[in-house]
């Protein structure tokens, strides 16, 4: 018995074979205009005057877009559940297997004056994928769940990736509930008021695979004119705080040779760090992103500088060399200033599931898209999910490498290609 569906975009045969279903596929494609229109609709929730988005976690804008997301899922006949951290799971039920769901998703919250694609693309991708299946009357063997993780950005409540961190056991729920925003409102208060405070038994506990489609938020794919990045890991990281203490005095009356200028000493330290760390490995990235100078008055010699140093690399041996350099900095500088070094935190490289990465790579090849395997320097919910379910990520290019800003943009064609790779991977998993 053969049920044949034929459209301009789709040719699928369902064959009953030895009591089961065997699927042969050719060029199943999503709807480009529908994806574009949906992304623009989601961007209207919290849209800024310069075509960006401000949709902080559990704000009125976030609550509104959550209701819209749920309405879209209900229209598709999906079952919706919410867990105790406010994470939403919408599931398209399936037939023919008792396998756990294929989970697709990311987050709907943004930073202040953020972009239209960060996070939301991964959620809308799930919607478009399910719409494509429903439109063509395709019943998958494995259930498909779309997930919206709460407070990924950490722009209102710290830390970032809060809900997935609790889900994976990385963060303590009690501590997270006490996190407050700038107005003193706790996460627990905001969650309760939002109407999206669900039950702990609704948490995701298992999955056949978890896919997160995300914009790259960097310049690599665009600079190499590639459409897809198959991400095999999230980089490990070390972060230090370095304090340099000198002595304040009058900027006009103190001779240069008699000064203990903390800022001059800091400049020399930064030069030494850059010289030594910069030659370790081409793939190493490092940043001094925060600096506080005291007393920060133009007529006073600085008596204290506190600055941050972070480095990211996939190889723990390289990061160990970085730490050795930082920890070997002199405790006293040639200017007579004192140096104190404090390690703030670190994280190990998170490697994604090799089989799921291979599946994404093969799906990209099947569709004929240009791609490369790559790493993620930024953190994502996927890195926490990887601790308990088979996980991988897909990147699509960010124009000029821009993200977390109103200028953030990914071409509609690249968005479509990313979702098509996702769809191909989901169908391939269902054919096994």
DSSP string, 337-405: -EEEEEEEEEE--EEPPHHHHHHHHHHHHHHT--EEEEEESS--HHHHHTTTS-EEEEEE--GGG--SS
Q: Which two tokens stand for residue 267?
A: 């400049």
Instruction: Give the pLDDT score at 427.
Output: 95
What's the Cα-to-Cα distance from 327 to each of 291, 324, 339, 342, rounded to whole Å? Answer: 19, 5, 11, 9
Under DSSP, is residue 286 helix (H, G, I), strand (E, B) or coil? strand
Backbone angles phi and psi of 331, in degrees to 5:
-80, -15
Instruction: Give the pLDDT score at 166.
Output: 98
Q: What is the pLDDT of residues 139-159, one digit of tens each?
A: 999 999 999 999 999 999 999
Q: Rounded mean pLDDT of 280-295? A: 97
Instruction: Give the pLDDT score at 222.
Output: 97
Q: What is the pLDDT of residues 189-199, one digit of tens each?
A: 999 999 999 99
DSSP string, 228-270: EEEEEEE-EEEEEEEEEE-B--BTTTS-GGG-B-HHHHHHHHH
Backbone angles phi and psi of 323, in degrees to 5:
-65, -35
DSSP string, 190-224: HHHHHT----GGGS----SEEEEEEE--SSHHHHT
| Secondary-structure breakdown of the chain: helix, strand, coil percentages, each rounded to the nearest 5 | 35, 25, 40
Instruction: Identify the residue with better confidence: 47 or 335.
Output: 47
103 pLDDT above the threshold of 70: yes
| Contacts of the segment 75-80: beta carbons below 8 A, 24+ positions apart | 76/127, 76/130, 76/131, 76/134, 77/134, 78/130, 78/146
Q: Rounded mean pLDDT of 228-238? A: 97
Q: Are 105 and 149 in contact (CB under 8 A)?
A: yes
Q: Are 284 and 277 in contact (CB under 8 A)?
A: yes
134 pLDDT above the threshold of 50: yes
Question: Mean pLDDT, the chain, as a whole number?
Answer: 93
- Domains in the chain (CATH in brackets) are 32-235+352-431 (3.40.630.10), 237-347 (3.30.70.360)
Q: Are 430 and 92 in contact (CB under 8 A)?
A: no
- β-bridge pairing 88-92 and 144-149: antiparallel
Instruction: Give the pLDDT score at 44.
Output: 98
pTM attached to this predicted model: 0.88
pLDDT band at 432 (very low <50, low <70, confident <90, very high): confident
Instruction: Give the pLDDT score at 7.
Output: 31
344 pLDDT above the threshold of 50: yes
DSSP string, 76-117: TT-EEEE-TT--EEEEE--SS--PPPEEEEEE----TTB-SS
d(CA 362, CA 425): 8
Q: Are 215 and 228 in contact (CB under 8 A)?
A: no
26 pLDDT above the threshold of 80: no
Instruction: Identify the residue with better confidence: 25 or 265.
Output: 265
pLDDT over 70 percentage in the chain:
94
């Amino acid at each position: 018995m053969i049920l044949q569906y034929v459209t301009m975009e789709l040719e699928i045969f369902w064959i009953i074979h030895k009591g089961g279903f065997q699927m042969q596929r050719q060029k199943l494609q999503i709807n480009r205009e529908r994806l574009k229109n949906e992304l623009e609709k989601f961007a209207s929730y919290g849209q800024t005057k310069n075509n960006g988005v401000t949709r902080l976690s559990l704000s009125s804008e976030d609550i509104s877009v959550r209701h819209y997301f749920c309405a879209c899922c209900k229209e598709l006949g999906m079952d919706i559940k919410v867990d105790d951290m406010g994470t939403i799971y919408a599931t398209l039920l399936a037939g023919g297997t008792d396998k756990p769901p294929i989970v697709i998703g990311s987050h709907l919250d943004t930073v202040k004056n953020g972009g239209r694609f960060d996070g939301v693309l991964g959620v809308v991708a799930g919607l478009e994928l399910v719409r494509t299946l429903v439109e063509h009357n395709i019943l998958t063997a494995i259930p498909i769940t779309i997930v919206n993780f709460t407070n990924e950005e950490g722009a209102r409540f710290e830390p970032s990736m809060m809900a997935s961190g609790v889900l994976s056991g990385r963060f303590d729920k009690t501590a997270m509930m006490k996190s407050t925003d700038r107005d003193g409102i706790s996460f627990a208060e905001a969650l309760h008021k939002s109407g999206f405070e669900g039950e702990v038994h609704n948490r995701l506990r298992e999955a056949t695979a978890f896919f997160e489609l995300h914009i790259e938020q960097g310049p690599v794919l665009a600079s190499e004119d590639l459409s897809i990045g198959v991400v095999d890991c999230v980089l490990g990281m070390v972060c230090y705080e370095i304090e340099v203490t000198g002595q304040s005095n009058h900027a006009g009356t103190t001779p240069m040779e008699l000064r203990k200028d903390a800022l001059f000493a800091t400049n020399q330290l930064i030069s030494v760090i850059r010289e030594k760390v910069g030659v370790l490995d081409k793939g190493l990235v490092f940043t001094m992103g925060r600096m506080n100078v005291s007393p920060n008055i133009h007529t006073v010699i600085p008596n204290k500088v506190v600055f941050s140093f972070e480095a990211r690399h996939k190889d723990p041996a390289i990061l160990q060399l970085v730490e050795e350099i930082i920890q070997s900095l002199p405790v006293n500088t040639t200017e007579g200033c004192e140096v104190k070094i404090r390690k703030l935190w670190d994280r190990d490289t998170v490697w994604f599931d090799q089989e799921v990465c291979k599946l994404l790579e093969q799906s990209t090849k099947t569709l004929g898209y240009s791609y490369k395997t790559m790493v993620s320097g930024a953190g994502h919910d996927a890195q926490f999910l990887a601790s308990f379910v088979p996980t991988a990520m897909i990147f699509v290019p960010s124009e000029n490498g821009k993200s977390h800003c109103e200028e953030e943009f990914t071409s509609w064609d690249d968005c479509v290609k990313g979702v098509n790779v996702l769809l191909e991977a989901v169908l391939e998993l269902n054919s096994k």
